[in-house]
Amino acid sequence: MTELLVVIVGLGAPGFLLALAVAGASPVLVFLTPLIGAGLAAVAAVLELGVGGSLFAWYVVVAVIANVAVVALWLAHVRFPTPPDPPWEWSILTLAVVLLALMIPLMALRAELIGGDANSIWLTHALMVSGGHHALVTGLKNPVYSFSNPDYPPLVPAAGALAFALFGRGDLHIAPGTTVLLNACALGAVGTGIAALGGGRRQLTRLGGVAAAGVICLVGFAVAGQFGVDGYTDLLWAAAAVAAVIWGLVLPRSTQALVIAWICAGVATLTKNEGLTTGLALLVLIALRYRPLTLSWVRRLGRHSAGKRFGGVAAWPVTREWAQRAAFVVLPALPGLAWTGVIRRLGLSDRFFQSPSSETLVLRAHATLDGMAGQLAVAPVAAAVLVAGCCLLRRDRERAGFGNPAWLWLSCLASLLTIFATYVFGGFEIYGWLAYSVNRTTIFAQLLLYAELAIWLVIALDTAFADDRVEQRNVSPAAVSVAGRRS
């Protein structure tokens, strides 16, 4: 365990300044730091594969460039306009509750679980990445290793390879152990996001938010089950994507929340192929929330066609808006897209689609619907709470500046549709494939729906306490007069 903590600190050290610049003294800093470090390691792995050299050398280069850039921005007095930090006692309480909640499922690390994909995919790739460019390329292209999904993104293998660089390759368990701690960090980002919902409100709401933060961390590990603690990466991409939804699509709009959402979505895109597609969908939704579509461009274009002399001037703001939206999507996803590009250049592709299936699409669709529905028992409860919340608390939600719940549900649908299409159009025998994986591919949707419950819970608590005060205010003069009459 001590070795794992050293690895996490080692991963976090190069990411600390970046995380500090983004998160300030917010409790999310603690969880964002190792995630940024792992993201930098993934960028180094992309360069190792695409350019050459070793992971460690590229990691040092990437970390130095990133930190020099932050220091340069700092010296140039460029600051993220961050909302005021929460009072330190609330930050400490949030951190303590979230860490405590994460430590309970992490006790399972004592069992040193390992096996399945944690070995055949992630440990294998971590060893390849730690062997340098040649070992990585020949390993990924070796047909014997086709079982290991050579096209999978590099964040987890890169973090594992850094662990090997620190402690040698003698203890294989250190790589899956690092993944488990990264799972916890991603869940910590979800928890601190939920706690931030109660920030700046009355104390009871804040307490409710902090409690909900601890609960959602426990729920994350509960949804993932054994796969959260044995080196599988499904919880990592799912929790990172849920954190991106909460910071980017639920919490009030701010530069800080946007950048945290980008980092979390970037982590999701670099972790697994499902994370890449879901992360891209989330980045599109975040771009649309921060740069909403309006009909003004239609009017501008109308004006442009009416008076062509000023056409260039009229079209410029429209072009700029679309360029900003595109940048909002492409920049955070750039490392993930670069990895995909390099992998395609090597001639490697997703093995799910390599051979056509002999089963009919209808049969596959039916089996997939059944399989996915079996995992989404929370969906009807979340939908009921959504309806009740929209009827009763819509205005409270708007007043608090939280995003429309449609964003969250659209994220959920986008992910589920992508996964549904993969099962339906993929080549594997459908029943075996579902039995092996559907409980993991739906972790994002499940966790997101539980997060939706936690969000409404915090809003309902705030409203209930607010109503209490309003009633007390309305009632108190009467109570005084009654008391006066009695006296």
> What single-letter amino acid sits at 434?
L
Between the CA of residue 175 and those of 119, 170, 422, what are the distances in Å? 10, 11, 28
Task: Quote the least distance from Cβ 482 to another protein, whole Å.
Answer: 16
Q: Which helix (H) or strand (E) holds 397?
A: helix 378-399
Task: Quote the least distance from Cβ 362 to another protein, whole Å.
Answer: 33
Dihedral pair phi/psi, residue 211, rounded to 5°: -65, -45
| Residue with Cβ nearer another protein (39 or 188) | 188
Task: Quote the least distance from Cβ 84 to another protein, whole Å.
Answer: 28
Task: Quote the least distance from Cβ 466 to another protein, whole Å.
Answer: 10
- Directed axis angle between helix 2-12 and helix 155-167, to 10°? 120
End-to-end CA distance of the chain: 68
| Residue with Cβ nearer another protein (245 or 386) | 386
| Residue with Cβ nearer another protein (119 or 357) | 119
- What sign results for the dihedral spanned by CA atoms 38, 44, 49, 55? negative
| Residue with Cβ nearer another protein (67 or 192) | 192
Q: Cα–Cα–Cα angle for 443, 409, 203, nearest 5°? A: 90
Task: Quote the least distance from Cβ 252 to another protein, whole Å.
Answer: 21
| Residue with Cβ nearer another protein (131 or 248) | 131
**Residue given tokens 């607010």 in the structure block:** 466
| Residue with Cβ nearer another protein (112 or 370) | 112
Task: Quote the least distance from Cβ 289 to another protein, whole Å.
Answer: 24
- What sign results for the dihedral spanned by CA atoms 160, 166, 170, 171? negative
> What single-letter amino acid sits at 35?
L
Task: Quote the least distance from Cβ 170 to another protein, whole Å.
Answer: 8
| Residue with Cβ nearer another protein (126 or 185) | 126
Cα 74–chain centre separation? 27
Q: Which of helix, strand or coil describes residue 168?
A: coil
**Residue given tokens 């993104």 in the structure block:** 153
**Quick one: tokens of 305?**
């066609």
Q: Cα–Cα–Cα angle for 338, 340, 345, nearest 5°? A: 95
363 φ/ψ sector (left φ>0, alpha ψ -120 to 50, else beta): alpha
Task: Quote the least distance from Cβ 119 to another protein, whole Å.
Answer: 6
User: Can you give the binding site for another protein, defined by CB under 8 A?
Assistant: 104-105, 107-108, 110-115, 119-120, 123-124, 127-128, 130-131, 135, 138-139, 142-145, 147-148, 169, 171-173, 212, 215-216, 218-219, 221-223, 225-226, 229, 378, 381-382, 384-385, 388-389, 391-393, 450, 453-454, 456-457, 460-461, 463-464, 467, 470-471
Task: Quote the least distance from Cβ 418 to another protein, whole Å.
Answer: 24
Task: Quote the least distance from Cβ 171 to another protein, whole Å.
Answer: 8
Task: Quote the least distance from Cβ 368 to another protein, whole Å.
Answer: 24
Instruction: Please answer whether residues 370 and 424 qualify as being in contact, where contact means their C-beta atoms are separated by less than 8 angstroms.
Output: no
What is the widest separation between alpha-carbon atoms in the chain? 92
**Quick one: tokens of 465?**
């306490």
Calpha distance 438→428 (Å, rounded) = 13
| Residue with Cβ nearer another protein (2 or 305) | 2
- Directed axis angle between helix 16-23 and helix 55-75, to 10°? 40
| Residue with Cβ nearer another protein (173 or 300) | 173
| Residue with Cβ nearer another protein (175 or 276) | 175
Calpha distance 40→335 (Å, rounded) = 9
| Residue with Cβ nearer another protein (297 or 465) | 465
